[in-house]
Structure 1
Amino acid sequence: MNASVDIALDKTITITFTEAIYNTTDELITNSNISSIISFTESNSGGTPVAATISYDEINYVITIDPTDNLKELQLYNIELSDLQDADGNLRSTSNTTFTTEDTTPPTTTFVDPQNDDTNVSIGAPLEISFNESVRKLDNTPISNTDLESIITFSPAATFTATINASNDGILIYPYPYLSSETEYTITIDPVEDYSGNEQIASSSITFTTAKFNIWNGNAGDNDFSNSANYEIGYTYGAGVLVAANEPLMIISDDANIPHLIIEPLAKVTIASGTTVTLSDELTIISDASGSGSLIIDGTLSVSSSKINIQQNITDASQYEFVSPPVQGATHASIGADGAIYSWNNQTGNWDSQTTDASLNPMSGYILKSSNDLLYNGALNRGSFSIDAKGTPKNSGFTLAGNPYTASIDWDLIASEDKFNIKDKFWIYKDGIYANHDVSTGIDTDLEGDASLIPSGHAFWIQANWSEGETVTGTLSVNETYLAHNETSYLKSGSSANEAIPHIKLAGIHNGVQCEKAIGFTPNASEFYDDYDTPRFFGFSPDAIELYSIVEDKKLAINSYPELINNMVIPLGYKTRSSGTFTIRINNMTKMEDGLQVLLTDHLENTVIDLNSEGSYEFTSEATSSDDRFSIQLIGDVSTDVDTPATDDKSINIYSIESTLYIKVDNIKNPEYTLYNIDGKLIDMDRLNPQSLNHIEMNGQKGIFIVKVIGDGFVTSKKVVIN
């Protein structure tokens, strides 16, 4: 019986022995002294005694416990037997047996906020319903978020989304876009049952009345909070304010006392410097698949931390989302996530699981899966924050940072000293793949529009200035002067304001998921891996095909070369997690010569496609990673007669004798060479020893070759003939 559950409330308990029993003083146990060896309590040994008649059948050796009253529901009980022995002195030590009684009462529904007959209820804040135990539908199946749309009704009708928490005892309802102002509503939830099958016999409902709200539309065009013409039907003092989705920026530049401030998705509010805004009731920032509302506080905001509601939309419950808390004191449990949360340990290069009560730190990034939208409550993060970017052989220099604010961080506004010893680029996860913003090249992959923005509530990767085998520390510091308003969510769109180098942007496409790969050209780049190259982060999307090139064993999303050489060939790899039909195409060509041909060779199918004229190439593949199935050949009006004189204060000599190439280098820092055949195919590359005559064996290769030597502030090329 130990640890049994669902024991009947009117249960009579029996304990049977196989022989006569004695206490430790050799006294025979009889019906008259049975109570001396047994106790019956709630919870555990030493708990509250339970009134009961205890008897003992001395013939059949059976103890009977008959409770005076029915037992309590869902109560843990304990029966303790003292030390006992048989007639031969065989000892039975003290034992405790526990059991839990059954549940016979239907669950109770509680409307937490609002409550029945409440007035002045917010038109946009979440509504909360709770139960005293876990609940399910009357057909014994779990309640899903989709089910809630039919289980819950409003009168008059209102559109909404809703989520049920992981323990199935709490519901949050999000009006969408918002309830009507100054309206009496009745909200009803259908009967449910608990997991013991106890059904509610009737629906539960309350009636409440919403507050008066001023609806901002910004039609006056001056962004002025105080201008009555910027509201749908003028401004009423003492009423709440709702800034409608996608409407123009609101600027509050005069002190204001407002009961409610609701900022809808992609709506924008700035509290100007020197201005104080006092909210007597709530601040709610709403999020959906299009993005989140944003708030920039250059002045002062006074509001109770318990009245702050910051939503974060979860776009896909099956995918990991990269998040960061915009409030103080957030935990796994408090934000409503119903899946595990992990943080990146930049010392070990591993993911660490977060306990439900562990604090989620501002400016740290986390990954999670959740079928619920997240809801952050607490004091807003204000002021400056920083995070160390560790570079070790275990993590390749990567750290998962997070945006701690209620508006976007504009990466390009961050001062160089606040990007101490970190690369001037970031990666952000969206739609199952990683997009990246690279200041060095001005190239962004899978981003359009304002790509330097990192939206509120999002985590992003940064990389220390790390080289193989090193251990380094960089620091990223941010403050509120680096903020801009949200333009999107999960960077579904965005583009760089930086001047981009000439480049070609390819895209791999499968099942509507696109992933870009860029090839750039700048004299500042080398043929080796450097700051003008950006590693490929592989995502989790089952549909993506992720393209890359390889330099020094590193798979790259952006690969930059010192120059474009006619007929140069660049191997193109790809990775996909599923089989199917895939597409490769040119997305755009920026600052490239007119007439440049981009040929894609499929070496498996022995097929060559002109992507300029054909537009795209379709192929089939299993789930795989291939480094060499494809290559890109660039053909255009690019001269191969590349003899270029060296700078006057440099000294270099390139020549060949029989099958050996010689390169004499003087007064050039960090010299490197690359060797191409006459068709532009890369043959070899390596670093050169300065102040030395370098010998390069051609190992039987003959013909005309192009040798290019580059160094700090120096580049030259020359044709040589190897016989």
Structure 2
Amino acid sequence: MDNAIDIPIGTSSFELTFSENIALANGNFYVELLEEGVSKEIQSVGDSHISNNVLSLSFNYSLGYAKEYNILLPANAIKAATSTALYSGLAAGEWSFTTESSPPLWANGFPSVSGQNSAKFDLNALADVTGIVYGVVTGAAAQPSVAQIVAGQNSSSGPAKIARNASVTSIVTPTPVEFLFNDDTPTGVNYYLHTVFEKDGKYSTVETITIDRIIPEINQLTSLPLNGDFTVAVDESVTIVFKEPVFGFDGSGTLPLDNTYFSFQYDDSGTPIDVAFTFSQTTTSEQTTVVLQPDVLLLQDEEYTVTIAPVSDASGNLTNQIVRTFETDKENVWIGGGVVTTWNDPLNWSSGTYAPGKTVTIPIGSTAFPEITSGTIDVHNLTIEPGASLTHTGGTLNVTGLFTLQSSVAVNASYINNGAVGTVLNVVGSNVNVEQVIDNINMTYLISSPTDGSTALSFGNYYPLYTYNNTTDAWDAISSGATMAPGVGYRMWTDDSMVGFSGEINTGAFLVNLTRTNGAGYGWNLVGNPYPASIDWTLLGINESSTIENNFWIWMPTQRAYGAYSASTDIPINITSSKIPSNHAFLVKVKIGEPTGSIEFVPDAQVANDANYLKSGTTKPVVDYIKLAGVTSNNVKDEMAVAFIDEASTAFDRFDLEKRFANRDHLFELFSLAESMKTSINAIPLNGTYEVPLGFNALKTGDFSIEMVMNKAENVETILVDKLEATEIALLPGDRYDFSVASKGLNTSRFSLKFFKVSTDLPIESISFNRSNVFVQGREVFISVPSEIAGSEYRVNDFSGRLIQTGTLRNDGVNSLGQFVEGSYIINIIGTSNAALENHKVVVY
């Protein structure tokens, strides 16, 4: 109707009723909506808007609160349905209405909550009008309706936990309404305040505020040490992280948090001892972090207690006293002073007792290293120093912290796990670090991984890792994320002087398949030691029926030369044993005639790493042999050997070891020829005198030497023949022959080696028939000879067969052979036919 008031602002449809049925006079026409005299919308009207005597109108414009509106209808647009009578239309003021007044509107920043403590909180109400504020506290976030709030109910129409209402008499100053906590609102959870403002039956929007009743909590994962931890480092600080900002509390409000809320103590025979510490704290919108840094190192293997007095969050929720305890770690250092290798013998540990579950260090220097054979051993951090070892043949070893096998330039640490059923190592792979010293980052290294999780990323990812492809005789790069396979060798460069292998430690057996490709890689394959200990080649079970040669070759990056070992002769070249250290790759060779081969690494082949391939010097060699070295002016050596084996042939056979050349100009590489094969070890039968070619490979000219490194042959004399200089020289261990090389490259014609046996058999009864007399004065040995023996050659050997001295008896009478060290010697006087004329035994005191 005209001049209607309190029209709801949601009204959009209007009707105009005539006294009779109506119709359009001249087709469609337009009506207009005015707001406070301003046009807001124009709508087209057609037949669809007319029903008998009713004209229906609809507008899209949203009406505002307390506004005057007019609807304008043009004259002569509507006529009577049964006559030509026209409707005069509606002008401004003829169809007007006023909308309802607005409901209460919350002031900016209201409603709000303040003054919360353990007993109550205040609702602060402020709106654009005075009126009544209603509020209910519920346990659910779901908003009740206005009617439910006014009735003191939750969204399920049940009674709210707390219900309040109060008059608000100011539109300037907020009105506080106190809500008291009760038995229905205990601490430990959040509650929800739902509030609405009412004026003259109109209601504001419903607002919901979370009421925090959760007591501040410590983040157990990020607060360190963990509560109850018993392997805390003695230099560790205490970090306490609250899940929300916290403050000090004095009963009336929050205060800055300081060191007075924290105590740090340990117990000394019932007396609490305070730990002095430096206090710091940081608070963000999300949390408060407190750090207690002890002023001195904590004691080993001691229990500590941190006590936190009640603190408050911003909502006034107060904690109870909080107590956190932890134990410090203890370093158990193995000294091996008790029962040999027994882990639990207290005398084997530096402090005279073993603390289970604590850190263990196994250093070098003990006469015996520990062995775990049964039971369960719990360790926190386990460190094995270079040259030290741990053997694990049974039982369970649990390492809860870091497992580190250290490395030095000379030697690596060893962990020997025999892989047997019931021998269990439990450690997180990412906590394993098997170190390898890189002595010179400018060199190429051939390596092998003792773990199952190492990649190129383990070595800094500066360069790719490469594997050797026998079928193409080329190096294939692997992706940086590819895991190194056990038993496979890799070529590596790095810019780091120390690298580490991580992942679970390899145990058990590993079979590696090999290939022979004639015209490409021939029989050469690069494999690797898969274990964190040395392997002894002689324990791998390789024999004459194997598809690979019973030899290995190993690249020594610092020397930039190849070492090698022949199991058939037990002779090492440029190395001193059959051991292959941990983390090392090496070359093996598939036999001629075999298209494929394999090598199986077995745990029983593991032995402890030792420095420089050390091997007992008292063990008699498997075969007799001599070892020579080509020596440069810088005293860099490259070795070769000649072995004396009755079953050997002059052709290349199983006793011979092929020479693998480094082809570096800092080396003078020696070799011998077995027919056309260049060898590091040339095995020959020695029946009488034998001569073999001695070749060399020199990539530059200059001065060089040939040195006899050792003589492990009984009763064999070695003569070096220099055909260029027409010189022959008998070589004893330590002797060097110096010469010059004018043309670089391979040479097999200049030098040869002559060998012949020296008899040291001396029947006692033969002494009385000697024509010469041998005697000793003050360690000087003399021979008195008759004239018919003067001019004969003589040789002096010790009782191991080692040649000590040679010479000519020049005078008929007394000849001095010089001073000798204490020991027993055999003197052979040799005739012109190379037959022994006389044999003498002499003892020097």
Instruction: Give TM-score scaled by structure 1 length.
Output: 0.56
Q: Is the 8 A contact 2:461 2:480 kept in 1?
A: no
Asked whether 1:238 is paired with 2:362, we answer: no
Match of 1:574 in 2: 696
Say which of 492, 503, 506 aligns to 1:381.
506
2:338 and 2:443 mapped to 1: Cα distance?
A: 42
What's the counterpart of residue 465 of structure 1? 591
In 2, the alpha carbon distance for the partners of 1:606 and 1:626 equals: 20
Aligned: 1:256 with 2:381: no
Mapping of 1:160-559 within 5 angstroms? 211-220=329-338, 222-234=340-352, 235-247=354-366, 248-253=368-373, 254-273=375-394, 275-298=395-418, 299-336=423-460, 338-372=462-496, 373-393=498-518, 394-416=520-542, 420-430=546-556, 431-448=559-576, 451-466=577-592, 470=593, 472-488=595-611, 491=613, 499-510=621-632, 511-539=634-662, 542-559=665-682
**Relative to structure 1, is the Cα distance of residues 315 and 498 closer, same or farther in structure 2, using a 3 angstrom cutoff?**
farther
Secondary structure in structure 2 of the residue aligned to 1:420 = coil
5 Å matches for 1:606-645? Answer: 606-612=726-732, 615-621=735-741, 624-628=744-748, 630-634=750-754, 636-637=756-757
1:265 CA displacement: 0.4
Inter-partner Cα distance in structure 2 for 1:287 and 1:363: 20
1:19-64: CA deviations, max 9, x gaps?
A: xxxxxxxxxxxxxxxxxxxxxxxxxxxxxxxxxxxxxxxxxxxxxx
Give 3-state SS (helix, strand or coil) of 2:400's partner. strand
Are the aligned partners of 2:529 and 2:584 in contact in 1 as well (CA < 8 Å)? Answer: yes
Structure 2 Cα separation of the partners of residues 383 and 236 of structure 1: 30
Cα deviation, residue 267, structure 1: 0.7
Alpha-carbon separation, structure 2, partners of 1:331 and 1:570: 47
Distance 2:438 2:337 in 1: 31
**Cα distance in 2, alignment partners of residues 180 and 591 from structure 1:** 62
Contact 2:698 2:746 in 1 (8 A): no
1:586 and 1:326 mapped to 2: Cα distance? 37
Q: Which amino acid aligns with 1:385?
A: F
What residue in structure 1 maps to residue 188 of structure 2?
none
Q: Conserved in 2, the CA contact under 8 Å of 1:439 and 1:498?
A: no
Q: Deviations over 1:630-674 (max 9, x none)?
A: 3233254579xxxxxxxxxxxxxxxxxxxxxxxxxxxxxxxxxxx
- Distance in 1 between the 2:547 and 2:608 partners? 27
In structure 2, the CA distance between the partners of 1:258 and 1:420, relative to structure 1 (3 Å rule), is same
| Secondary structure at the counterpart of residue 412 of structure 1 | helix
User: How big is the shift at 1:457?
Assistant: 0.8
Unpaired stretches in structure 2, ≥5 consecutive residues:
1-221, 236-296, 302-326, 760-845
Cα distance, 1:577 vs structure 2: 4.2
2:710: which partner in 1? 588
CA distance in 1, matches of 2:232, 2:515: 48
Q: CA deviation at 1:500?
A: 2.5
Aligned mates of 2:361, 2:743 — CA distance in 1? 48
Q: In the aligned structure 1, how far is the partner of 2:234 from the partner of 2:380?
A: 12
Closer/same/farther in 2, CA of residues 623 and 378 from structure 1, 3 Å limit: farther
Helix, strand or coil: the match of 1:288?
A: coil
Alignment deviations for residues 395-454 of structure 1 (CA, whole Å, 9 cap, x no partner): 221111101111121211122479831111111122322122211122222232xx1221
Instruction: Quote how far apart the aligned CAs of 1:233 are.
Output: 2.0
Contact 2:339 2:345 in 1 (8 A): no
Q: How does 1:30-179 map to 2 (within 5 A)?
A: none
Contact 1:447 1:494 in 2 (8 A): no
How many equivalent pairs are there? 438
Residues 544 and 404 (structure 1 numbering): CA distance in 2 closer, same or farther, change over 3 Å? same
**TM-score (norm: length of structure 2):** 0.48
Structure 2 counterpart of 1:332, one-letter code: A
In structure 2, the residue corresponding to 1:287 is in which secondary structure?
coil
Does the aligned pair in 2 maintain the 1:389–1:464 contact within 8 Å?
Answer: yes
AA aligned opposite 1:300: V
Pick closer, same or farther for the CA change 1:494–1:400 going to 2, 3 Å: farther
User: C-alpha distance in 1, partners of 2:299/2:616?
Assistant: 35
TM-fit CA distance, 1:612? 3.4
Residue 597 of structure 1, CA deviation? 4.0
CA positional deviation for 1:627: 1.9
Task: From the CA coordinates, give the structure whose radius of gyration is larger.
Answer: 2
Aligned CA RMSD, in angstroms, stands at 3.4
Percent identity of equivalent pairs: 27
Query: 1:463 deviation in Å?
Result: 1.1
Closer, same or farther in 2 for the Cα pair 1:637/1:249, shift >3 Å? closer
* Cα distance in structure 2, aligned partners of 1:182 and 1:540: 56
3-state secondary structure, aligned to 2:459? coil
**Compared CA separation, residues 614 and 523, structure 1 to 2 (3 A):** closer
* Alignment-mate amino acid for residue 574 of structure 2: D
